[in-house]
Every structure is written in structure tokens, then in C-alpha cells.
């Protein structure tokens, strides 16, 4: 859409009272603490009127500078950052823009960087600097510490822990790196949240305030205790009773609250791998051979393994009756025949004895 100048001025008149024309202003924190050698991102924002007072000239930012000069960055001065110069101190990076954001990043802060910094922006008509400035203090950062959300460093499987990296500065805006047993973790930020703990998470945790690993904390050891009652993986069964009749069916499901990367489910009976894989194990037409302790695991290395679920397959009652009846019969006949045989032998012995005795007489 093409606007003629008249339409444009009407629009500007309308816009005026509604969204009040912003004043000249720079907003930054009063002070900012940085750990020596670490990276600091100093938040900053600015505003200016849209039009130069009394002239109707539209204002447009053309140049932005950051300086440590108390004279509000007026010449002659050394700028730590100057958008009009290619060469600047490469440790000072401007993350802002020419509209409203004047965020400044200081990389690998040095002791001598401690100063009050001011931001100045120059438009096509006039310039402005935030008078108060931001006072940057540099701490030697020797006391970087890991603080944990638990008092004891032994945590049960499936549990959780939050580790905070703290130092003399409060530094939520700094680059914090985390390491386990010296290996960098992908998580960044002053707090490291670990949940669904498994033995994989056990180890020595350290944090550091720069990517080079200098300014590193003392290690904090995490011990993950085995949880007999289940841990992070559980076997759920389709039957409430562990005792199932022959020919019956049981469906076992491997469940977990935690979403792990590897969702390969493996099944084991008495510790021996079964050929079936997948979240559900369908055991039908049960025989005594299916009796055993079932476990499932969420990776082939068996690290995330459930507690055992024990299945006992019992003979069908019908068959059982027949067997028991048969046994009862033989149990009843054997003693009777033994007694009869004994009586018969006694009688026989009696007869022989009687015959001999009568012969002698
Ligand atoms: C300013 O820019 C920085 C870096 O791109 C960004 O992190 C921050 O959120 C921005 N601030 C505002 C108020 O938009
Ligand atoms: C860790 O930091 C978070 C905020 O970043 C805070 O809420 C929590 O209380 C801190 N925990 C400890 C143990 O310092
Ligand atoms: C699942 O989450 C609930 C609530 O968060 C917890 O009580 C339960 O122990 C968890 N179960 C497992 C297997 O982690
Ligand atoms: C389990 O297996 C039996 C026999 O193979 C089959 O009839 C039944 O439908 C299966 N059940 C499920 C839930 O897969
Ligand atoms: C169950 O197993 C028995 C003996 O192993 C076999 O004779 C029968 O055919 C099986 N039934 C089914 C439905 O698989
Ligand atoms: C049960 O196991 C025994 C010994 O391994 C085997 O001889 C028999 O065939 C199995 N029975 C069934 C029903 O699989
Ligand atoms: C299954 O586990 C129970 C107790 O956990 C044990 O008494 C039993 O002997 C185990 N059965 C087998 C076949 O290993
Ligand atoms: C097995 O015995 C029970 C009681 O002892 C009886 O109720 C049931 O009917 C019998 N089953 C068969 C198949 O005989």
C-alpha cells in the first residue's frame, strides 16, 4: 500500500496519544558481578522518541557505542565497542540491535574490566547515553561450588537431584558448564536437574564458569542406590495372583515413568534372555516350563532392569484330582497287603512249629 504524506501524518497524529512517544532512555542493571575468566552477558535496552521534537524529522539509530568514560561516551574516548569501527576489542561483543536491545557480552573477563560501563546511541539527528551506567565488578571466582538439593549424596534409583553451581557472584547470566567424571555434559545453566536416576548418572560432578574448564568447582559425588522395590522400570502383569493354572495366559508389560532414549525392551526369565522383545510379553498356553522370575530391561546392557516378577504355573485341578486319587488307592492297599502277608506268614510258621512239636512228642 502506498501512503501519501497527508495520510502518514494523520496516522502519526493518531498514534501519538495512543502509544505515547517513548522518551530518551537506557535501561541496565545498577551493578553486575562477573567471575574472572568467565563470560558475562549484561542486559541492556533503550528507547528514543520517533520524531525529533519540533522538526518532524524521523529519528533512526545509526551508531551505538559502549564506553567506560564518565563523560557519557563523548569524544575523545576509548570505546570498548563501536558499531562504526571494524576493529574493536574482540572480547566485547554487541548482542543488541539498532532498535531497542543494547545487550553487551564480555568474553573471558579480566580483572581490569571492572569499571562502570555506559551505552550511547547516535541517531541521524542527536545522541543519548544512559547516565547511570552499569557497575561491573570482577570476582576472583576461586570459590566455585556445587550445591545440591539433597543433603546426602546417595540417592535412590528413580529419584532426582538438582545441582547448583554457585560462586561469589550470582551468575544466572553466565556460561556454566557441567561435567561428569571430567566429561562435558550437554546441559548448560547454573542449575543441573537430574531425574529418573540410574547407575548411568552416578559419578563426580563438577561445574565451571567457562568452556575452557578453568574456574572449576570441587567434585560432588553422586551415588545411585539400587532400589529393590522397582527403581525406574517395573513389570506389570495382567493377573493379580502370581499363581496361574496350566493352559492359562499372562500378559506382562514393561513400564517406566521415565522416557529413556533406548526403548528396546528385553525380557528375561531367571536371568536368561528370551527371544521376545517389545513392551508386552504374551505368555499363553502356560506350562510348568513358564514358571520363573521375569524381569524386563530398557536397554540391552541390562542397566535399566526391573525387579523380578515371579510366575508359578500349577497343574490343572482336574488332572490333580486324578493323580491324588491314584496315590490314595495305592497308599491304602500297600499297608493292608503287608498286614495280610504278615498274618499269613505267622499262620504258616505256627503250622510248621505245631507239626514239629507234635512229631517230637
Ligand atoms: C537482547 O538480545 C539478547 C541477545 O540476542 C537476548 O538474549 C535478549 O533476550 C534481548 N533482549 C530483549 C529485551 O529483547
Ligand atoms: C538452585 O537454584 C534454584 C534457582 O536457580 C533455586 O530455586 C534453588 O533453591 C537452588 N537450590 C540450591 C540447593 O541451592
Ligand atoms: C512414577 O512417578 C510417580 C510420581 O511421580 C512416583 O511416585 C513413582 O514412584 C514413579 N515410578 C517409577 C517407576 O519411577
Ligand atoms: C496372546 O497370545 C495368544 C496365543 O498366541 C493369542 O490368542 C492372544 O490374542 C494374544 N493376546 C494378546 C493380548 O496379544
Ligand atoms: C497348548 O500346549 C499343548 C501341549 O504343549 C498343545 O497340545 C496345544 O495344542 C497347545 N494349545 C494351543 C492353543 O497352542
Ligand atoms: C518343557 O521343558 C522340557 C525340558 O526342557 C521339555 O522336554 C518339554 O518339551 C517342555 N515342555 C513344553 C510344553 O514346552
Ligand atoms: C524367584 O525368586 C524368588 C524370590 O525372589 C526365589 O525364592 C525363587 O527361588 C526364584 N525362582 C527361580 C526359579 O529362580
Ligand atoms: C477336583 O476336586 C475338587 C474338590 O476336591 C472338585 O470340586 C472338583 O470337581 C474336582 N475336579 C474334577 C475334574 O474332578
Q: What is the pLDDT of residues 346-359, one digit of tens each?
A: 888 888 777 777 76
Q: What is the pLDDT, as a whole number, of residue 178?
A: 93
Evaluate whether 109 touches 36 at the Cβ level (below 8 Å): yes
Ligand 6 contact, 287 CB (< 6 A) = yes
pLDDT digits (tens, 9 = 90+) for 315-324: 876 655 554 4
Evaluate whether 148 touches 212 at the Cβ level (below 8 Å): no
Please report, for residues 293, 308, 313, 344, the alpha-carbon distance to residue 248 in angstroms, rounded to integers and kept in the order given.
17, 20, 9, 52
Evaluate whether 227 touches 157 at the Cβ level (below 8 Å): yes
Rounded-to-integer distance, Cα 275 and Cα 58, Å: 76
**Element containing residue 92 per DSSP (H, E):** strand 92-94
Q: What is the pLDDT, as a whole number, of residue 360?
A: 65
pLDDT band at 197 (very low <50, low <70, confident <90, very high): confident
Evaluate whether 251 touches 284 at the Cβ level (below 8 Å): no
Q: Based on the number of CB atoms within 10 Å of its own CB, is 229 exposed (0-12), middle (13-18) or buried (19 or more)?
A: exposed
Å from CA of 96 to ligand 1 middle: 7
75-84, 97-106, 136-145, 307-316: the lowest-pLDDT one: 136-145
Task: Work out the average pLDDT over 144-160.
Answer: 88
Q: What is the domain partition of the chain in residue ranges?
A: 20-139, 145-225, 236-314
Q: For 251, left (φ over 0), alpha (ψ -120 to 50), or beta?
A: beta
Rounded-to-integer distance, Cα 296 and Cα 274, Å: 10
Share of the chain above pLDDT 70, in %: 80
Å from CA of 308 to ligand 5 middle: 27
> Is a pLDDT exceeding 90 seen at residue 151?
no
Q: What is the pLDDT, as a whole number, of residue 261?
A: 53
Q: Whose CA is nearest to atom 3 of ligand 8?
A: 321
- Ligand 4: residues within 6 Å at CB? 251, 282, 284
State which fold the 236-314 domain adopts.
Answer: Immunoglobulin-like (2.60.40)
> Is a pLDDT exceeding 90 seen at residue 141?
no
Rounded-to-integer distance, Cα 337 and Cα 213, Å: 92
Give the residue from 164, 124, 134, 158 showing the smallest Cα distance to 32: 134
pLDDT digits (tens, 9 = 90+) for 258-289: 766 556 788 999 999 999 888 899 999 999 99
> Is a pLDDT exceeding 50 seen at residue 47?
yes
pLDDT digits (tens, 9 = 90+) for 9-42: 444 444 444 457 789 999 999 888 888 888 889 9
CB atoms within 10 A of CB 90: 7
Share of the chain above pLDDT 90, in %: 43
Please report, for residues 113, 148, 199, 218, 222, the alpha-carbon distance to residue 301 in angstroms, rounded to integers and kept in the order given.
51, 29, 12, 31, 21
Ligand 6 contact, 257 CB (< 6 A) = no
40-44, 103-107, 154-158, 228-232: the lowest-pLDDT one: 228-232
From 245, 321, 324, 328, give the residue whose CB has the most ligand 8 atoms within 8 Å, as the site to mutate.
321
Ligand 7 contact, 270 CB (< 6 A) = yes
State which fold the 145-225 domain adopts.
Answer: Immunoglobulin-like (2.60.40)
Q: What is the pLDDT, as a whole number, of residue 13?
A: 42
Helices (H) and strands (E) counted in the chain, each on its own, are 2, 27
Q: What CATH architecture does domain 20-139 belong to?
A: Sandwich (2.60)
Rounded-to-integer distance, Cα 131 and Cα 98, Å: 19
**Ligand 7 atom closest to the CA of 293, numbered from 1:** 1
pLDDT band at 3 (very low <50, low <70, confident <90, very high): very low
Ligand 8 contact, 30 CB (< 6 A) = no
CB atoms within 10 A of CB 69: 20
Question: Nearest ligand, CA of residue 247?
Answer: 5
Q: Whose CA is nearest to atom 4 of ligand 2?
A: 191
Q: What is the pLDDT, as a whole number, of residue 10?
A: 41
pTM of the model: 0.49
Q: What is the Cβ-side half-sphere exposure of residue 124, based on CA atoms within 13 angstroms?
A: 10
Q: What is the pLDDT, as a whole number, of residue 325?
A: 43
**Ligand 1 atom closest to the CA of 96, numbered from 1:** 2
Helix (H, G, I), strand (E, B) or coil at 82: strand
Å from CA of 284 to ligand 5 middle: 9
Rounded-to-integer distance, Cα 157 and Cα 234, Å: 12
Q: Whose CA is nearest to atom 1 of ligand 7?
A: 293
From 197, 257, 298, 304, give the residue whose CB has the most ligand 3 atoms within 8 Å, as the site to mutate.
257
- Ligand 2: residues within 6 Å at CB? 147, 149, 162, 164, 190-191
In CATH terms, are 20-139 and 236-314 the same topology?
Answer: yes
Amino acid at each position: 500500500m502506498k501512503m501519501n504524506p497527508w495520510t502518514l501524518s494523520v496516522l502519526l497524529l493518531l498514534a501519538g496519544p495512543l502509544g505515547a512517544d517513548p522518551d530518551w532512555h537506557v535501561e541496565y542493571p545498577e551493578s553486575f558481578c562477573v567471575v574472572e575468566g568467565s563470560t558475562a552477558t549484561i542486559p541492556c535496552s533503550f528507547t528514543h522518541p520517533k520524531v525529533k521534537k519540533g522538526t518532524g524529522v524521523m529519528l533512526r539509530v545509526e551508531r551505538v557505542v559502549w564506553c567506560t568514560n564518565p563523560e557519557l561516551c563523548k569524544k575523545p574516548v576509548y570505546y570498548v565497542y563501536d558499531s562504526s569501527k571494524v576493529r574493536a576489542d574482540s572480547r566485547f561483543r554487541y548482542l543488541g540491535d539498532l532498535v531497542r536491545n543494547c545487550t553487551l557480552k564480555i568474553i573471558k573477563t579480566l580483572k581490569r574490566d571492572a569499571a562502570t560501563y555506559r551505552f550511547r546511541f547516535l541517531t541521524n539527528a542527536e545522541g543519548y547515553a544512559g547516565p547511570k551506567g552499569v557497575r561491573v565488578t570482577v570476582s576472583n571466582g576461586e570459590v566455585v561450588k556445587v550445591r545440591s538439593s539433597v543433603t546426602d549424596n546417595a540417592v535412590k534409583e528413580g529419584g532426582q537431584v538438582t545441582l547448583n553451581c554457585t560462586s561469589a557472584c550470582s551468575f544466572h547470566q553466565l556460561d556454566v558448564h557441567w561435567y561428569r567424571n571430567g566429561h562435558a555434559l550437554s546441559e548448560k545453566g547454573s542449575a543441573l536437574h537430574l531425574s529418573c536416576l540410574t547407575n548411568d548418572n552416578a559419578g563426580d560432578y563438577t561445574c565451571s564458569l567457562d568452556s575452557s574448564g578453568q574456574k572449576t568447582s570441587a567434585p560432588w559425588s553422586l551415588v545411585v542406590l539400587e532400589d529393590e522395590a522397582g527403581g525406574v522400570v517395573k513389570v506389570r502383569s495382567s493377573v493379580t495372583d502370581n499363581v496361574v493354572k496350566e493352559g492359562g495366559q499372562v500378559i506382562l508389560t514393561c513400564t517406566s515413568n521415565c522416557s529413556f532414549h533406548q526403548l528396546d525392551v528385553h525380557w528375561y526369565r531367571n536371568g536368561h534372555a528370551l527371544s521376545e522383545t517389545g513392551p508386552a510379553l504374551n505368555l499363553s498356553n502356560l506350562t510348568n516350563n513358564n514358571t520363573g522370575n521375569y524381569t524386563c530391561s530398557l536397554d540391552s546392557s541390562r542397566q535399566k532392569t526391573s525387579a523380578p516378577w515371579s510366575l508359578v504355573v500349577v497343574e490343572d485341578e482336574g488332572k490333580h484330582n486324578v493323580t491324588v486319587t491314584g496315590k490314595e488307592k495305592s497308599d491304602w492297599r500297600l499297608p493292608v497287603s503287608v498286614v495280610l502277608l504278615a498274618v499269613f506268614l505267622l499262620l504258616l510258621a505256627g503250622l510248621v512249629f505245631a507239626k514239629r512239636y507234635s512229631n517230637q512228642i
